[in-house]
Amino acid sequence: MFKLNLKIALRNLWKNKGFSLINIGGLAIGLASCMILLLYIAYEWSYDKQYTNADKTYVVYQNAPANGKIFSWAWTPNIMANEIAVKIPGVKYASHASYTSSKLISVGNNKISSRLNFADPNFIKIFDYKFIKGNPDQVLKDVNTIILTKSLSEKLFGNEDPINKTIKLENQEVLKVEAVIEDVPVNSSITFECLAPWSLFIKREPWAREPNWGNNMCLTVVQLKDNKFLAEANADMKGIYKRNQQGNTAEALLFPLTKWHLYDDFQNGKSVGGKIEQLKIFLLLAFCILLIACVNFMNLSTARSERRSKEVGIRKAIGSSRKSLIGQFLLESVFITLISTIIAFILVEVSLPYFNNLLNIGLQIDYKSISFWGTLLMLMIFTGFMAGSYPALYLSSFEPIKVLKGLKIKSDASVSIRKVLVVVQFVFAACLIVCTSVIYQQLRYVKNKPIGYNKSNLVQIAVQGKMGNNSKLDLLKTQMINSGAVTGVTFFSKDITESGNNTTDVHWQGKPAGESILFNNRGIGSDFIKTIGTELVAGRELSTITKKDSNSIMLNEAAVKMMNLKNPIGAKIGYWGVEKTNIGVVKDFVVESAYQKVAPMIFYPSYMDDVQVIIARLNPNQNISSSLETIDNLVRQIEPDYPVNRKFVDEAFEGKFQNEKLLGTLSNWFGGFAIFISCLGLLGLALFMAEQRKKEISIRKVLGASTANILTLLNKDFIKLVAIANVIAFPLAYIIINRWLSAFEYRISISALPFIIAISLSVLIAILTVSIQSVKVAKANPVDALKYE
């Protein structure tokens, strides 16, 4: 029977090519969308879980109360790890590492800017990287050594064995290669291309040698012997700052490594979510799209039920039980699911590179993974049964005798269920349209919100190697301005689009006692205000030409407000133990999140010792590409050993919207697919309805109805359904999107526009879909239909 039923299923597919195409196409697109989303979710979900003892590994967070809030981050003092290893119960390993940064690594003339991290030997006990060459017990001990990842080793040494060969770091230290490890998985929070000993870090940065509980400068990771020690350890961690440094108000906590990536949003010292929220949305989206595709299938199958009722009747009359009929219809739907899955595979493989490019990640199907095939099988069975169950139950329930007697099957129930299904589909579709529009509105709003400086035509060049020297920087500045390529050049102690570098070591008259307030601190060069295009609200600008401002600072507006200074100019501010004078107030500008209020900032004159970037404003009267070439050449003349690391500030600034852009893009694409699949379903239904009403339409035409009349008639029902769907969708969408928006300090208020877009778009799409099909019927010669009755 199985073979015969399969044959029949194939014949049915072939005979009704239109239906089959819609069915399989819809299901394939649905499955493909679902697969891509699930791949993405799995990718994000598996972050940091690759290590053997990942579940026992914790990242040390500090909760620092400041400005009436609690700031939480995974930056800790250099001696935290030792203290933990000795004093905290249940700890197996404690290790500290720097955060990864780009450094120049060279072998002979082969110079590569690589991502380097520094760590102590415990680091590779906590994270069991796969060693290809070298002894894990011996590495990270001697100062002048380094571990390379496989791909960096290949870039530097080709196929040669790198062990015991040497590389040069930043053209300064000569390091011996001790080991080669597999590349760090891309979905890790801690990534690097090479790993060097902590002792080397100290050698390069002597200030980092002194134990200092007040300077949070590295990452501390801890592995517990067993998770049962967690509560005890955490209780002990809490007071670790206070115990070691008087007056330190920070508290430490152990945060699970496996949650680091997805739950990194802290409020009041507790994780309240993070990227996980987005993943949940995507999971819901994946499920809904699949559901919509299944609904399509159900719709079309039941719509065709009248045609199949005869078969059901006969089968029952020649001895089929209901069970075997249900089996037959389920077989058909599983079979169609199988075909769709194969097509979905092709779609996924074809579109993955595109999505990877779009999302800037490396998703791929792991054909060797059991869990992949397991999930796929589950997905197929779920889809097959989900899509096939209702048609199977419905069709198999026909009483043979009624069918064979030629009585009309009462199709009221099935019609209304079909209507419900169409409504369900369009509720999803309308919800998605509303949400996507709001996401875009919000994104546009924050993007267009003034950020306090003019980020267009502004380039930023990283200071590397020999450039980081007072006279060289001055020379570069002069040369750049003289070349005419730029109209202004200044220096900054941090990438202007990045957060970081802050201190609570700021004191002023009237500061509430015992309160800790966090200030961003940045060193600036001369011409800062003019170059970045911000404004000086009061006072004058810091100059670094001479040392006369070495005891002066500037504040931003937020800092003035925070300090509650009546006369900010001339105010005495204690900063890192030295009394400074404020000489200017700078307008607030965004360096951190564009969604949040600008935090207080202190500017100090940087005498080039801690300059990280050169910021230059391009000359608007020059051709941009030739200006850039000029700049690159000048930089290369001063530091020929490094590739020029230059970027546009506005492009870098875009990085702040990465998450929202991702959400917007994905919901746009997959929302589009959901709508498309719904339309396929509608098309199928219209196809069927128009055929069923052929005779009625013909009679109406004979009676004098115009094509337009007929179209209105056919469209009316569908429009009603779509309208109902919108009415249901609106409050739903409002709740969802309102929740999403509430996470932003700066947000748009929800307007009527997204809802208007949703209803007009969905109605328009519905009319188009239905009309494409019904125009044919409406225009057909009525005699043709009536003749054959």
Partner 1 sequence: MIELKNIEKYYATKGVKHYVLRHVSTSIKQGEFVSIMGPSGAGKSTLLNILGMLEEPTYGSYEFMGEDVTTLNERKRIELYRNHIGFVFQAYHLIDEMTVYENIEAPLLYKKIGGSERKSRIADLLDRFNIVAKKDLFPNQLSGGQQQLVGIARALAAQPSIILADEPTGNLQSAQAEEIMNLFQKLNKEEGITIIQVTHSEKNAQYGNRILHIADGVIKEDLVV
Ligand X SMILES: Nc1ncnc2c1ncn2[C@@H]1O[C@H](COP(=O)(O)OP(=O)(O)O)[C@@H](O)[C@H]1O
The yes or no reply on residue 626 touching partner 1 (CB under 8 A) is: no
What is the rounded end-to-end Cα distance, in angstroms, of the chain?
35
Of 314 and 783, which CB lies nearer to partner 1 in the complex structure?
314
Residue given tokens 């035409």 in the structure block: 701
* Residue 275 beta carbon to partner 1: minimum distance, rounded to whole angstroms: 51
Task: Give bridge partners of residue 554 from the DSSP assignment.
Answer: 584, 603
Of 378 and 401, which CB lies nearer to partner 1 in the complex structure?
401
1, interface contact from ligand X, partner 1, none, CB < 5-8 Å by kind: partner 1
Of 7 and 444, which CB lies nearer to partner 1 in the complex structure?
7
Phi, psi of 504 (to 5 degrees): -110, 0
645, interface contact from ligand X, partner 1, none, CB < 5-8 Å by kind: none
The yes or no reply on residue 400 touching ligand X (CB under 6 A) is: no
238, interface contact from partner 1, ligand X, none, CB < 5-8 Å by kind: none
The yes or no reply on residue 310 touching partner 1 (CB under 8 A) is: yes
Query: What span, in angstroms and rounded, lies between the C-alpha atoms of 124 and 130?
Result: 10
Query: What span, in angstroms and rounded, lies between the C-alpha atoms of 643 and 79?
Result: 35
Window contacting ligand X (CB under 6 A); options: 401-409, 469-477, 628-636, 670-678:
401-409
Of 86 and 318, which CB lies nearer to partner 1 in the complex structure?
318
Task: Give bridge partners of residue 103 from the DSSP assignment.
Answer: 114
DSSP string, 292-334: HHHHHHHHHHHHTHHHHHHHHHHHHHTT--HHHHHHHHHHHHH
Alpha-helical regions (H) of 647-752: 649-654, 658-692, 694-702, 707-741
Residues 343-402 that bind partner 1 (CB under 8 A): 400-401
259, interface contact from partner 1, ligand X, none, CB < 5-8 Å by kind: none
The yes or no reply on residue 574 touching partner 1 (CB under 8 A) is: no
Of 407 and 772, which CB lies nearer to ligand X in the complex structure?
407
The yes or no reply on residue 18 touching partner 1 (CB under 8 A) is: no
Q: Give which of 308, 479, 470, 474 is closest to 395, Cα–Cα.
A: 308
314, interface contact from ligand X, partner 1, none, CB < 5-8 Å by kind: partner 1
The yes or no reply on residue 6 touching partner 1 (CB under 8 A) is: no
Task: Give bridge partners of residue 636 from the DSSP assignment.
Answer: none
SS (H, E, C) 578-634: EEEEEEEEECCCCCCCCCCCCCCEEEEECCCCCCCEEEEEECCCCCHHHHHHHHHHH
* Residue 396 beta carbon to ligand X: minimum distance, rounded to whole angstroms: 19
Window contacting ligand X (CB under 6 A); options: 35-43, 399-407, 558-566, 618-626:
399-407
Exactly one of 68, 406, 512, 731 binds partner 1 (CB under 8 A); that residue is 406
The yes or no reply on residue 404 touching ligand X (CB under 6 A) is: no
Of 231 and 407, which CB lies nearer to ligand X in the complex structure?
407
Query: What span, in angstroms and rounded, lies between the C-alpha atoms of 711 and 378?
Result: 43
* Residue 400 beta carbon to partner 1: minimum distance, rounded to whole angstroms: 6
For 105, the 3-state DSSP assignment is strand
Q: Give which of 522, 433, 478, 472 is closest to 755, Cα–Cα.
A: 433
Do 90 and 77 meet the contact criterion of CB atoms below 8 Å apart?
Answer: no
Window contacting ligand X (CB under 6 A); options: 220-228, 400-408, 687-695, 769-777:
400-408
Window contacting ligand X (CB under 6 A); options: 100-108, 185-193, 317-325, 402-410:
402-410
* Residue 407 beta carbon to ligand X: minimum distance, rounded to whole angstroms: 6
Six-digit token string for 702: 């004979």
DSSP string, 206-236: GGGTS--TT---BEEEEEES-GGGHHHHHHH
Do 291 and 386 meet the contact criterion of CB atoms below 8 Å apart?
Answer: yes
Q: How many CB atoms are closer than 10 A to CB 408?
A: 9
Six-digit token string for 527: 């011409």
Six-digit token string for 30: 């649905």
Of 405 and 566, which CB lies nearer to ligand X in the complex structure?
405
* Residue 336 beta carbon to ligand X: minimum distance, rounded to whole angstroms: 33
Query: What span, in angstroms and rounded, lies between the C-alpha atoms of 127 and 195?
Result: 12
Exactly one of 15, 17, 323, 405 binds ligand X (CB under 6 A); that residue is 405
Exactly one of 17, 405, 408, 787 binds partner 1 (CB under 8 A); that residue is 405
Do 61 and 252 meet the contact criterion of CB atoms below 8 Å apart?
Answer: yes
Residues 311-330 that bind partner 1 (CB under 8 A): 311, 313-322, 324
* Residue 310 beta carbon to ligand X: minimum distance, rounded to whole angstroms: 16
Cα distances (angstroms) measured from residue 549 to each of 383, 465, 523, 664: 71, 27, 12, 47
Do 774 and 688 meet the contact criterion of CB atoms below 8 Å apart?
Answer: no
**How many amino acids of this chain bind ligand X (CB under 6 A)?**
3
The yes or no reply on residue 407 touching partner 1 (CB under 8 A) is: no
Residues 78-97 that bind ligand X (CB under 6 A): none
Do 613 and 496 meet the contact criterion of CB atoms below 8 Å apart?
Answer: yes
Q: Which amino acid is at 204?
A: R
* Residue 4 beta carbon to partner 1: minimum distance, rounded to whole angstroms: 6
Of 316 and 418, which CB lies nearer to ligand X in the complex structure?
316
The yes or no reply on residue 402 touching ligand X (CB under 6 A) is: yes
The yes or no reply on residue 17 touching partner 1 (CB under 8 A) is: no
8, interface contact from partner 1, ligand X, none, CB < 5-8 Å by kind: partner 1
Contacting positions for ligand X (CB under 6 A)? 402, 405, 407
Contacting positions for partner 1 (CB under 8 A)? 1, 4, 7-8, 11-12, 15, 310-311, 313-322, 324, 400-401, 404-406
